[in-house]
Structures are given as C-alpha cells and as structure tokens.
C-alpha cells in the first residue's frame, strides 16, 4: 500500500508519528463510453452555455448561485483567504463510549501505521482504547479541509474513521410512520420466532458481489468467443496542435512575410545593388540607372567601364546615385560591376570608373 498522508496522533503530552493508508478499494468493473460503430472513445468538452466557446481550466472559477438567481464567483485568491488547516496532526478532542457512535455518520476508513520509533506509544493507545471500550473523537485536516473523525481499534491496527457532519444526515419525513398500527401478541411472537430461526454470526467473507462476478464472466465469455477487436487509436485533431507547432507556424508566417516585403522594396527605385562591408556583389542594373539624381545627365566614363573593373575606395563610404536603393558600401569593400552602368555621385557627377580611366590614359602616354 501507498501512504496518502503522514502526521502524528496527539493526545495530552503524547505524540505518535503515523502514516495514513486507504483501508478500502473499489472493485467495480469500469467501462469507457465508446462509439458503437468504430469503438472510438467519447470525449467531453467544457463549453460555455452563453458564448458557446470551449473554456480551458485556467479560465474556470467557482460560481455560487443564490436562490434569488444571483451569481457569486470565487477565484483562487478568494479561496486562499479561507481558514484552512495545514497542520499534520490528528488532535484528540475526547474519548466517548463505543455504543454512542451512530454508524450513519461513518464516511471513509483509513489505516494508521506507526513509525518504527513510535511502536510503543502506538500500542499503548491501542490497548487503552480496548481496555476502556471507548473511541477517540479527533479532528484532522485531509486534503486541506478539516473533518471530524474517530480512532477505533480493528485487530492490531488503529483505524481512522472519518465522519460526515450531523447536518448532512437527512431526517426521515414519512407521514405513514405516524399512523397508529395495532399489533397482536401472536403476530409479534411469530415474527420473533422467524428472526431467531434465521439468526447467525455475521461473516462478511461469505457474501460476494454477484453482479460484478456475472459481469466479469460475461466479458471473459465474449473475449473467448472472439468478440473482441483492437482498441482504435485516437486521431489527432488539427485544432489540438501543441504550442510548439503553433510557434513554428507563426515563425514560418513571419519569414514568408519578411521575404515578400524584401522583394517589394528591392524592385522599387533602381535595379542596381551595392555590396556590404567585406563582401563582393554583382550589379545587374540597366544603362538607365546611370543617371545622376541632381543633374539628370549620364556619366561619360560609366559607359566606358568594362565588366570586371574593380574600384578600391579609401576613406569614407561611397554613396550610390539617387536612383539606386540608397545602401552604402564601407571602406575597403570591393564592388564588381557586371554591366557598364555604375552610378555616379549625385552631387559631384563623378563616377566609380574614373580611377580605371586614369590608368588607361597613363598607359597610352607611356
């Protein structure tokens, strides 16, 4: 067995460390609700009856409806303000005679196991209850809610018997019980004789759950006859995608949007492109991009620049003409032109091919 709670039984100045175990278990045959045609499991969704939308656990709060039709909601902060006992002690309130306990108050039963060092005080409490023929009335907080309980002896173990509160016991309200009924002595004697003839000592082991036994036999019979099929695997719905899938979808959509935006901006203005620092880029602009933004005239040397001409710039970055995309190339960047359409400087009218033109004139002079 597995302990569900640990604490100590406290009475007077004596404290007995214990562990609490469930004393009973349910052996009912449990069924799933499935679709008769394909065997699929039936699932329920938490939907709001006002808006019709599915509601997650995080958005659900407790609501109390008054007899007048008013709704009062309680959230986690409201519940945290309640006086909840969090101690791990079973406090003995009093010891009462066993025959004064009404069995209708019994709720759930638990076994108490003592710690190794507490074997003697545990045995002392057990024997004291047996000798005095009394039961200990205690208060204990299980699952953060205080409840009334009993400590009684069953064999060698002390049993914790939780109780329901007295206002939870319903009173019988049957008018027929108030009717005067005349019983003759002969009828009473015959009824008493019948009771005596059926008298016996109670042994619960002699009784079995016949309905459960019949249900288990029915299931085994259908299984042996081949009336069984593999349980179908549930298909994952697209609506139930996990957060990681949603994140990847959002990222992919963002990338696609960024690419579309980049293509749109690159097609406007000049078709020429400039390279960034430390890289080489090819320019595929047409001859019309060589127009100066200020004077509107074409650079005379740009048309004579051959493919493969390299221009080295020292100092500050050179800015392309007004018809270009407006990007800058830093110092030390090499720009390779694939057409004779290198743009000139918008303010001075000079172009990138002038150093190469100067070298060619020097060679002719030589």
Residue 109, Cβ density class (10 Å: 0-12 exposed, 13-18 middle, ≥19 buried): middle
* Three-class secondary structure assignment of the chain: CCCCEEEEEEECCEEEEEEEEECCCCCCCCCCCECCCCCCECCCCCECCCCCCECCHHHCCEEEECCCCCEEEECHHHHHCCCCCCCCEEEEEEEEEHHHCCHHHEEEEEEEEECHHHHHHHHHHHHHHHHHCEEEEEEEEECCEEEEEEEEEECCEEEEEEECCHHHCCCCCCHHHHCCCCCCHHHHHHHHHHHHHCCCCCCHHHCCCHHHHHHHHHHHHHHHCCCCCCCCCCCCCHHHCCHHHHHHHHHHHHHHHHHHHHHHHHHCCCCCCCCCCCCCCEECCCHHHHECCCCCCECCCHHHCCCCCEECCCCCCEECCCCCCCCEECCCCCEEECCCCCCECCCCCCECCHHHHHHHHHHHHC
Q: Which segments of the chain have a pLDDT < 70?
A: 84-86, 235-246, 262-366
Cβ contacts of residue 290 below 8 Å, gap of 6+? 298, 299, 302, 303, 321, 341, 342, 343, 344, 351
Q: 100 φ, ψ to 5°?
A: -90, 0
Residue 262's pLDDT is what? Answer: 63
* pLDDT tens profile 69-113: 999 999 888 888 887 665 789 999 999 999 999 999 999 999 999
Q: Which of 303, 274, 305, 275 is nearest to 287 (CA)?
A: 303
pLDDT recorded at residue 322: 40
Q: What is the structure's pLDDT at 146?
A: 87
pLDDT the model gives residue 354: 45
Q: What is the pLDDT of residue 57?
A: 86
**Region 1-26+73-167: CATH code:** 2.40.290.10
Per-domain residue ranges of the chain: 1-26+73-167, 276-366
């Amino acid at each position: 067995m597995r302990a569900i709670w640990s604490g100590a039984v406290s009475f007077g100045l004596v404290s007995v460390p214990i562990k609490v175990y469930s004393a009973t278990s349910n052996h009912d045959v449990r069924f799933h609700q499935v679709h008769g045609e394909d065997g699929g499991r039936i699932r329920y969704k938490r939907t709001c009856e006002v808006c019709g939308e599915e509601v997650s656990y995080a958005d659900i709060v407790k609501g109390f409806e008054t007899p007048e039709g008013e709704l009062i909601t309680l959230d986690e902060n409201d519940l945290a303000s309640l006086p909840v006992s969090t101690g791990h002690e079973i406090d003995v309130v009093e010891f009462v005679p066993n025959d004064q306990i009404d069995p209708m108050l019994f709720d759930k039963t638990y076994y108490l196991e003592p710690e190794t060092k507490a074997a003697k005080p545990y045995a002392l409490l057990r024997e004291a209850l047996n000798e005095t023929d009394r039961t200990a009335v205690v208060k204990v907080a299980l699952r953060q809610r205080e409840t009334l309980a009993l400590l009684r002896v069953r064999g060698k173990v002390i049993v914790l018997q939780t109780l329901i509160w007295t206002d939870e016991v319903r009173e019988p309200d049957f008018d027929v019980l108030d009717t005067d009924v005349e019983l003759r002595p002969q009828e009473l004697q015959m009824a008493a004789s019948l009771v005596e003839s059926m008298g016996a000592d109670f042994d619960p082991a002699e009784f079995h759950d016949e309905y459960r036994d019949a249900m288990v036999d029915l299931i085994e019979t259908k299984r042996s006859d081949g009336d069984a099929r593999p349980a179908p695997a549930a298909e994952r719905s697209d609506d139930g995608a996990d957060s990681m899938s949603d994140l990847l979808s959002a990222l992919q959509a963002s990338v696609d949007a960024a690419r579309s935006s980049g293509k749109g901006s690159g097609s406007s203005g000049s078709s020429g492109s400039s390279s960034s620092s430390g890289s080489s880029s090819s320019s595929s602009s047409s001859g019309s991009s060589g127009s100066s933004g200020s004077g509107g005239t074409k650079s005379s040397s740009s048309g004579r620049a051959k493919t493969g001409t390299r221009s080295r710039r020292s100092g500050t970055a050179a800015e392309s003409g007004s018809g270009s995309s407006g990007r800058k190339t830093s110092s030390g960047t090499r720009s390779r032109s694939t057409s004779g359409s290198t743009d000139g400087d918008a303010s001075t009218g000079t172009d990138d091919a002038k150093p190469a033109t100067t070298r060619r004139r020097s060679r002719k002079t030589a």
